Structure 1
Amino acid sequence: MRLAVALGGTDWGRSGIGTYVRAMLPRLTRGLARTGGRLVALGTARDFAAYDPELVGAERAVAPAVVDTPALGASWYLARCGAHARGAGADVLLLPAANRRVALRPGLPTVGVVHDLAQFNVPDKYDRLRTTYVRWLLPKALRSFEALAAVSQATRGDMVSFLSCAPERIHVIPNGVDADRFALGDGAGAAWARERLGLKAPYLLYLSRLEHPGKNHLRLLRAFAASPVREDHQLVLAGADWGAEQLIREELQRLGLQERVRILGYLEDGLIPGLVAGAEALIAVGLCEGFGLPALEAIAAGKPVLAARAGALPEVVGDLGVLCDPLDEQDMAAALTRVVRDEPLAARVRREGPGHARQRSWDRTGDDLLALCRSVGGVR
């Protein structure tokens, strides 16, 4: 089987979806090779540069550079992606970011992976043009695919509720975690990250792009200001700016938190495991996370998680963290205090977290995704 994997909409590896694609590409390539198959990556020169280490052994079918722009890229995928895949000799098309890029009438069996539908749960997430695309074109395309994969039960439920996708065609294939990178007791990695980033005080880590309102930073800042943990902990915000950094800095100044909150911006991937290992706890309070990969990575490293009682976070975190109402700042403030002060919880996460995470390996995700692609292509 020749499997075409489209790289559009995956943020050139700089997001949770990018992490997913980095994990899937080599595993799909190896899995196909075991039975004489081949992976064909569809993308621009920029896509190929971003994923070059993961594309060893794969063929490449180059798309025009205009595909890198959001509006024109979405249009190209709608109209041309299927033909591009067929021209590369593909038997099956895989769209690993199908909540962002889809193909209309692709002309070959197609599998779409949906990570979240936050745009239906978070008001004002997108402008009018993107909202039209998401509400009208995206559902039409997804309903035409031979199979769909959702990364969580929560996302599957949203696909049924908001897109009217047939439940029997949606396969839940959860994300995985690299348990070797996010390991319990990585003191050396934590010390290295602290030194590189100039972190001295104990800190709580929110690993998320700076996006308003979806990632909920402003409520988190107000909750942190109201919690006693601000006296002996820093709050560290790590992630690329998606238009909210100025709002966040203004709120920091209003609350007088400039000395207690660090904004690190986008960090190279090699720093993340050490940053997680050095944290007292990880925070994940987005209004609608389709999975919440940083939460699983923290649990793998034995760190408790403060998570929103929304989206997929409750199913990812289970009882290895503290849940809060992401719209209630008082509830969030109380949860911040508990996740730091609850020693029995911290001990249980150190004891049970690594085993919990090992049940969700990227190898298992890759095997299940490849099996789904084979099934729609009529290959066993």
Structure 2
Amino acid sequence: MNKILINALLVSEKSSGIGNYGYNLINSLDRLDLKYDISSLVQKKIESNNIDIQIKQCSNRYHRILYEQIPLRRNYKNYDLIHFIDYSSPIIAINTPFIVTIHDLSFYKYPETFNYGSRRIKQILAPISIKRSNKVIADSKNTKKEILSRFNINESKVKVIYPGSPSYNKIEDIRKLEAVKRKYGINQDYILYVGTIEPRKNLLRLLEAYHNLLKQGIKEKLVIVGKKGWLYEDIFKKVEELGLDKQVLFLGYLPEKEKVALYSGAKVFVYPSLYEGFGLPPLEAMSCGTPVVVSNSSSLPEVVGDSGIYVDPKRADSIAQGIYDLLDQKKLREKLSLLGVKRSKKFTWEKSIKNILEVYDKIL
């Protein structure tokens, strides 16, 4: 039986983005009767019946990267195929065939939204991973297009496989919703954002847009859910500068159940990101029946389709108008809620895993 290792070290106790991708990949594979001997390297305990879960705790991202580049590299020879869920293949070439999932190239498109260390590491490792890999999996058509425009590789080497949507459903039990709202001091209707707090997510313009909406008389609070990323200090300074301390709630990283409750209870979900490789939070919100306002750029139109309101992420007034239109029109919210639930069902991990296993099959 061929042996496969999934390097999913970004799966940790507070996973977001790529870490969530890895977690869902592992869980979805574990449900199947596999013809491969699959192991996965992660940073937290995962219950598994069919996959060998190997845990390696790393103190920070630099510790993780160093471990991947030196000690872990020696182990790759013990496998027939490696799947990197991020651009983390070793700088010193390995003989084992490997696949890399590329989620986005934001560090090229918006380098100013990364700190210097993170940007340089990604710009070094991404070309190596893409060029040496046997196959590149891209999260979206937009990501594939950008890979092909930047790197001199054959179009057939890159396969688009959309991630699946989590199995979220709208929570209808008002008592459960109110319990979570009380816990976090939410005592009125609210606009919700979920995602890492970092410049690429465009929260500075969201705060400006929200400030303008308050001037127009809206009463909803702005609730921001997600852990701090990098270069987040200006975001908190902007809240103070605009005098929004009482209107904007930063709740940090939340457990899945509480996050689903907040999605379900939100009047509007807003995601004005400058750039996304896929864009999972809007899909999560749509699964819960919450109407979404998203950027009209990168991969987001692929995900949201005709089920949301699109705005120009580089204009605070456009973001404000998109939010206002949804807040002001109940029938539009109801329409997009239904369309969003329907749209979210197109993205399943069953489909994703089927396509990923086909990639494994062709290499092995």
With the length of structure 1 as denominator, give the TM-score of the two structures: 0.87
Q: Residue 52 of structure 2 corresponds to which residue in structure 1?
A: 59
SS of residue matched to 1:339 = helix
CA contact 2:115–2:230 (8 Å) conserved in 1: no
What's the CA shift for 1:188? 4.9
Distance 2:244 2:293 in 1: 20
Of 296, 302, 317 in structure 1, the residue corresponding to residue 304 of structure 2 is 317
Is 2:207 the partner of 1:221?
A: yes
Q: Residue 342 of structure 2 corresponds to which residue in structure 1?
A: 355
Distance 2:14 2:158 in 1: 25
SS of residue matched to 1:227 = helix
User: Cα distance 1:230–1:176, how it changes in 2: closer, same or farther (>3 A)?
Assistant: farther
What's the CA shift for 1:299? 1.1
User: Cα distance 1:58–1:350, how it changes in 2: closer, same or farther (>3 A)?
Assistant: same
CA contact 1:240–1:266 (8 Å) conserved in 2: yes
Distance 2:15 2:52 in 1: 22
What's the CA shift for 1:376? 1.2
Is 2:267 the partner of 1:280?
A: yes
CA contact 1:281–1:305 (8 Å) conserved in 2: yes
CA contact 1:292–1:316 (8 Å) conserved in 2: yes
Percentage of pairs with the same residue: 22
User: Cα distance 1:185–1:160, how it changes in 2: closer, same or farther (>3 A)?
Assistant: farther
User: Cα distance 1:61–1:296, how it changes in 2: closer, same or farther (>3 A)?
Assistant: closer
Q: Deviations over 1:117-163 (max 9, x none)?
A: 11112132334443333323420231111111111111112212233
Distance 1:140 1:198 in 2: 47
What's the CA shift for 1:3? 1.5
Paired AA for residue 109 in structure 1: P
Q: Residue 37 of structure 2 corresponds to which residue in structure 1?
A: 38
SS of residue matched to 2:96 = coil
Paired AA for residue 191 in structure 2: L
With the length of structure 2 as denominator, give the TM-score of the two structures: 0.91
Matches for 1:168-317 after TM superposition, within 5 Å: 168-179=156-167, 181-183=168-170, 185=172, 187-211=174-198, 213-228=199-214, 231-244=218-231, 246-317=233-304
Distance 1:370 1:116 in 2: 22
Q: Residue 74 of structure 2 corresponds to which residue in structure 1?
A: 83
What's the CA shift for 1:292? 1.0
Q: Residue 142 of structure 1 corresponds to which residue in structure 2?
A: 130
User: Cα distance 1:19–1:73, how it changes in 2: closer, same or farther (>3 A)?
Assistant: closer
Distance 1:81 1:170 in 2: 26
Distance 1:315 1:331 in 2: 20
CA contact 1:189–1:277 (8 Å) conserved in 2: no
Distance 2:260 2:363 in 1: 36
Distance 2:220 2:23 in 1: 33
User: Cα distance 1:127–1:303, how it changes in 2: closer, same or farther (>3 A)?
Assistant: closer
User: Cα distance 1:133–1:259, how it changes in 2: closer, same or farther (>3 A)?
Assistant: closer
Distance 1:95 1:305 in 2: 31
How many residues get paired?
361
Distance 1:165 1:362 in 2: 28
Of 298, 315, 325 in structure 2, the residue corresponding to residue 328 of structure 1 is 315
CA contact 1:8–1:68 (8 Å) conserved in 2: no
User: Cα distance 1:343–1:278, how it changes in 2: closer, same or farther (>3 A)?
Assistant: same
User: Cα distance 1:183–1:366, how it changes in 2: closer, same or farther (>3 A)?
Assistant: farther
What's the CA shift for 1:320? 1.2
User: Cα distance 1:22–1:140, how it changes in 2: closer, same or farther (>3 A)?
Assistant: closer
Paired AA for residue 267 in structure 1: L
SS of residue matched to 2:40 = strand
Paired AA for residue 216 in structure 1: N
SS of residue matched to 1:193 = helix
What's the CA shift for 1:5? 0.7
Residues 187-196 or 268-277, more deviating = 187-196
Distance 1:279 1:103 in 2: 43
Is 2:70 the partner of 1:70?
A: no
Matches for 1:95-174 after TM superposition, within 5 Å: 95-98=84-87, 101-104=88-91, 105-174=93-162
User: Cα distance 1:320–1:62, how it changes in 2: closer, same or farther (>3 A)?
Assistant: closer
Distance 2:17 2:217 in 1: 28
Residues 263-272 or 130-139, more deviating = 130-139
What's the CA shift for 1:246? 3.9
Residues 338-347 or 152-161, more deviating = 338-347
CA contact 2:278–2:299 (8 Å) conserved in 1: yes
Residues 337-346 or 298-307, more deviating = 337-346
What's the CA shift for 1:15? 0.3
CA contact 1:26–1:56 (8 Å) conserved in 2: no
CA contact 1:203–1:234 (8 Å) conserved in 2: yes
SS of residue matched to 1:52 = coil
Distance 2:272 2:120 in 1: 27
SS of residue matched to 1:155 = helix
User: Cα distance 1:260–1:59, how it changes in 2: closer, same or farther (>3 A)?
Assistant: same
The structure whose residues are more often helix, as a share, is 1
RMSD of aligned alpha carbons: 2.3
